[in-house]
Structure formats: structure tokens, C-alpha cells
Structure 1
Amino acid sequence: MRTQVVIIGAGPSGLLLSQLLHLKGIDTLVLERQSRNYVLSRIRAGVLEQGMVDLLKTAQVGERLEREALIHGGIELAFNGQRRQIDMKSLTGGSVVTVYGQTEVTRDLMDARDAMNGHLIYEAEDVVPHDFDGGRPRVTYRKDGVEREVFCDYIAGCDGYHGISRRSVPQETLKTFERVYPFGWLGLLSDTPPVNDELIYSNHERGFALCTMRSLTRSRYYIQCATDEKPEDWSDDRFWDELRKRLPGDVAEALVTGPSIEKSIAPLRSFVAEPMRFGRLFLAGDAAHIVPPTGAKGLNLAASDIFFLSRALTAFYETGSEELIDCYSEQCLRRIWKAQRFSWWMTSILHRFPDSSPYDLRLQQAELDYVTTSTAAATALAENYVGLPYE
């Protein structure tokens, strides 16, 4: 079998790349080791930058998003028992963020690929990219017990942090940078109305908390927890009680609780792999980088990678030029490291670190006070949160 681009991974980045290339007349094959239902069962982020929203519209998958998404012009930072708003819309000249779950983005992209008869193979086992450092790359996989082989022009590794794409790269050609944080996030999803019409990020002596939502009737809440804790150790009642303690009094009183739909713990990590291109193999999304969820950048960074990659591949097939392919890694990494900086900064001012001294805690409070009272500081936060331009 032959195609132009093999995409490893059917998460939102792989599906988005396939959709964008299809619209430009470029053939793709998407290989996913999990089932379709498994992919849709993943509970992930739900805050989209304007750049990603625009890209989804370009991919012709923005109709349901426009109809159902929640538009937020700001966020709130809570500390010392008070709440202060960052008015992102006014600070950035009109930019906003869109609340729309990653699962819904994935579903929309799957439906679009189905409608256009896209080539997707789920439950593809033992997927391995080969010969991407030469002129005839190929990908092997096994389906229904049969070994198969696909020749292609390029391979896009969109298969996440634990995927085969990055692990297939010669390790001596790869540089990695990592920071592992000494805590995680315990998240609870419930069919309850959100406690606030904007996200609330809370710094509290008991640890960080976040109030967010998926819709007007479905909420997502998080609390900072130890890395060795387990979701089953947290009953719903225990979670709600702890969340209330970390919120300002008026928010705690307004909180509507209910049975959890899903409960999980996510570790916090910062990770970057450089470069993101190895001959005819590209890394994109979590295969190349991870950020703490504090700044809501993970999914959005994956989308910006796909913007640069789809543009580069389209230019190659339309003109034969490899100029944008040659600068793909550099363009992505410039934006990635800025998002890494922002995510690290948000994490550092909002969480309780085990080794924090009284001096460190005072600095946190001063930073929060400064960023919520200085127009310049608030603007810097707002610009990064709504998303830096693709450049």
C-alpha cells in the first residue's frame, strides 16, 4: 500500500492534520493502536485559544463548536480569601478563549473524517516507522493478525508522549528537557452547573484548586494532591469537602455538588524534545512536548504544531518547495518554549511546593497581588493565556 502521509495517532492532532491535508487534496492514512471508543473516552482539557478555534474552522469542523462552546473573556485568580479578575478581552483588544472539551473536538474531527471517507485504522498493533532518514519511508503495523506495510513520502508522529514515533528516533540525535513537579492534579467531572461563569484558579495554603466546566450543566474541578495518592482513596464527599476549603467563602457556599462521572489523577510534567523533524519523520503534539495543565496550553500547542506542519506539507505538494519543511521544528519550538515558560510561571505562583519556605510563600502572594493590580503584568498574563500568534 502507498499513501502520501502516514499519521501515527488518532488523537486531535493526528485527526486535525489528516483533515487539513485532505482538504488540500493530500492523501493520508491514520494509524491508531486503540479503539475509537477508547480514544473518545479520554478526559482531557477544554480551553481553546482563538488560533485553535480558527484552525478548526479552516478544517471545516467548527459548526458544533460555534453552537455549543462557551466564550470566556476572562479568568479569576483567588488568593488570601479574595477573587480578582483578569479581563483578557479588554487587555488584549478583544481576544477570548473558548471552553469546549477535547473529547468534543476529537468527536467532531472523527465525524468529519468519516464523512469524507478518510482512511483511519483503529486497533493497529505494533506500528513502527522505518527508513525515514532516507527517500523511501514506510510504516509497518499488524491488523487482525496480518502484517501490513505502507510506503509514503512523510510520517507524522502524533502518538503522544509514550508513542513509538519519538522512541524510533536515534537517541543520539535527540535532546530532551524535563521538569517533573512534586504533585499532581486530582480531577472530578460531574453533571452539575459550574460554580462560576469563568474559570477560577485558587492559591490556598492547603494547595491549588481549579474550577472549570465543560458546559452549562457539566463541571470539572481539580485539587492539588500528592503524586502517590490514588483516585479510589478519594470519595466524592471527601473531594467536595476539600475543594470547598480551598475556595473563597462565597464560592464554596455557591458550589453545587453531585456524583462524579469520572475521577483521575494527572501528574504534572514539563517536557520538550528537540528537534521535531528527523528526515521525513515529524513529531507533533505530546510526542514532542508536555506542559503542566495550569496554563491550558497542551492541546493548543498541539494545534499550533499542526498549523505549521500542515502548511509545510501543503506547500511541498503544491510547489515542490521544502523551505517550510526545513523550518518546521524551529518555528514550533519558538512557540513551544514560550508556552513552557508561561505554564511553568502559572504553576509556580499557584501551587504549594513541599520545600517552600515562608519567604517563598510571601513571594507567591506578592506576585499574585502584582499581576492582578498592574495593567502591564495582567496584560502579559492575558496575552499568553488567550494564545500567542502563530509565527
Structure 2
Amino acid sequence: MTQFSEAFTGVTFIKKPSRNAVSDNAAVEQTVAEILSAVHEKGDAAVREYSRKFDQSDIAIFEVSKDERHAALAALDPQSCADTQFAIDNVRAFAEAQFATMLPLEVETLPGVHMGHRVIPIERVGCYVPGGRYPLLSAPVMTIVPAKVAGVKEVIACLPPNAHSAMIAGCHLSGADRIFRIGGAQAIAAMAFGTSTVPRVDKIVGPGNAFVNEAKRQVFGPIGIDQLAGPSEIYVLADETGNAEMIATDLLAQAEHDVRTRVGLITTDALLAKAVEAGVTRQLTDLSTAETAGAAWCDYGEIALCEDEAAMIAYSDYIAAEHLQVHTADAHGLANKLRNYGSLFIGELASVVYSDKCSGTNHTLPTMAAGRYTGGLWVGTYVKIATHQWLTPQGVRQVAPPAARQAATEGMEGHRRAAQMRLDRLSS
């Protein structure tokens, strides 16, 4: 994928990214391949070796015990505990509401031809919980809680051994059945292949760094994954009613995640574009995370000026931003015209920060234009929709003749016999 500053009808750029968001991944691919191979072959011994190498950790026992879980919970200050529970309650409530829309199906499509599907929870899921630049207390909530709502039998959580103890408390409160102090690509390998300590899972979810992402890509196939997540993104759509200071604040709030965060404004108003650019520069002078946020803005920040609303919508759908805020006079009206995004924040009162932390929608979302074809992590990520059918004699008499004829036309004699046999038995 190329950088999104190429020529686009009706769009001029007040500020362009100075770097390409996609870099050469060859070195990461090779390193990850070696890690996966070693863990597949040596199991816990390789995990322990890579934990020492990458995390400077020499933990004898990877799994967090019940006593350690309770100690982490006891160490969590009361307000943080209450806030984490608030986030859990909101994420659970929204996941339950979503799950209620996923119903089993039974339908008679033709007389005697019955079809349907079941909603079946995945048996065992692995949730990667990143340690990250900060202790992201909401990270375990977003991956573990929907899994439990979906009815996953066993949820395994892996987090870096040097992660803040509050992260262990978050995994515990969110409902993780087992928690392991294993980070990076070696954690993905352990969950994908299984070791004497870590059980093999059926699907791996959760964001991580480039090595975690690449490991998920390489194990995909026998093991399911949620998605391949790149650096975080936020774009804001705004017209002349947009508040420049608020928009600048929101852009920098997301930019402090990582130096590779993609942040952008797409607007129809030139004065607002200039005001937001000035506002970002001004706020960086006293932002405590300016070293990270400023680098992200310098390298990946973008301001696109559009000639009209149609151009703004077209360019936004082309970007397909992970987080998309709408700050326009008719925010709901514009929102209804948008197609491609990870999660949408309608009106200036709806902030990405609320979703990042505690409001209830999931913050594990598609990046790098994946919003063109998929949504984010949700309760449906943890279930399979598995179809079935059953036929009465009346149904066989309807579908067997065309099935047998089609098989004969294709030269598939075995198929023809299987279709015809049931019809012949009914005739006799």
C-alpha cells in the first residue's frame, strides 16, 4: 500500500505525511519465522530463551497463579479498580446487545428442504494483551470480555512479563481463565502451537507490535486470527463548524500512542485547516507526551482540503481510517453517507478516547485501509456460524434430479450416484 497523499480528485493537501506508513518488513519476517520454528520445536525452553533475550525476564513459571492474580487485584488502587469495572460493564453490555442479534436459523427453502445455522462459540481463544508504551488498562477488557459473552469455553491471556501488575488485575477482572507472562512473537507461537505449559488455542486476537503482528500472520491458517493491526489511526471530518482547538486536541490524543500513529484532518474549510495546523503546533509545546505525539504528527500527520462534501466523503472512504470522527453541522447526516471506517464517532461530543477506554464499543479496529472490507473486534469474532440441512422424501424428489444432472454434465460420476441413489431408493 502506498501513502495516501497521491493525487485525488477535489482534494489538495495543506500538510502531507513525510514518511510512508508501510516500511520494509523483511527483517521482522525472518526473525519471527525463526522464533516460531524454535518454539514449535523446543516449546517452553525456546519461550524462556526469547523472554530472556527480548524482555530481560527469567521467570521460572510463566502462568500467573491465583495468589498472584489476587495480589495484583489488591495492589490496584480503588479508583482504578472501579474505573476498570466500569469499562468491563459497558463493554459487556454492548457485547451482550450485539450477541442478542446473532440468532440460530431454521428455514424450509423448498417443501421438504430444511436448512439453518447454529451460532457456536470457539472452544479456546488466546488474547494477546500488549504491555505497550503505557499500562493500557483497557486492553484486556476489549479482547477478553466479548469472548466470555460469546461463550468461549476457555480464554487464555498472554502479556509481556514486564507488564504493569494492573494489567494482570485487568485480565483477572475481565474473566481470563488462565494468564501467562509471555510477550512478543514467542507468546503468539506458544498459543498457536501449544507447549507443555501453554495450551494450544483455536484463535488468537489482540493487537501488538510489528513482531506480534507478523507472528499472527505467519501462524494463520490452522489457527484463526482476528486481524492484522498496524499503527493506530485517527481522522477527523470537519466543515466550517469544526472547533480547531478540539480537533487538534483529539489528533494529538491519538498521536501519543506511537511515533507511527497516522493522524489526519479532512475538511472543506481552508481557515479551519490552517487553524488546526497552528493548534497542533501550539499544543505540542506543553504536551507531556510531545516527543511521541510530535514525531507522529511530523512524519504521518495529514491535512486534506476538499472542494465539497462529496470529495470529503470520497477521500474519507478511500482512507478507511481506524477511528473516524465527524465534526460537521449535520454530523448524523454525513455519517449515514460514509462506508469505510473502523469505528465512527458522530458529533464533537463523541471522542475516540471514550471508546479507547471505557464507553463500550471495542477499540481493537482495522487499520491501513482494512476498514474497506472488515469491521473491528466484536462478540461475533468469537463464534462460528455453522450451517446444516436435512431433507424429507419430498425434498429429495426436488433436489436430487437437478443435482444428478449437473454432476453428470460435470463428469463427476460419484456425485451423480450419490444424488441418484436416494431418489432411486425412494422410487423403489
The structure whose residues are more often strand, as a share, is 1
| TM value normalised by structure 2 | 0.23
| TM value normalised by structure 1 | 0.25
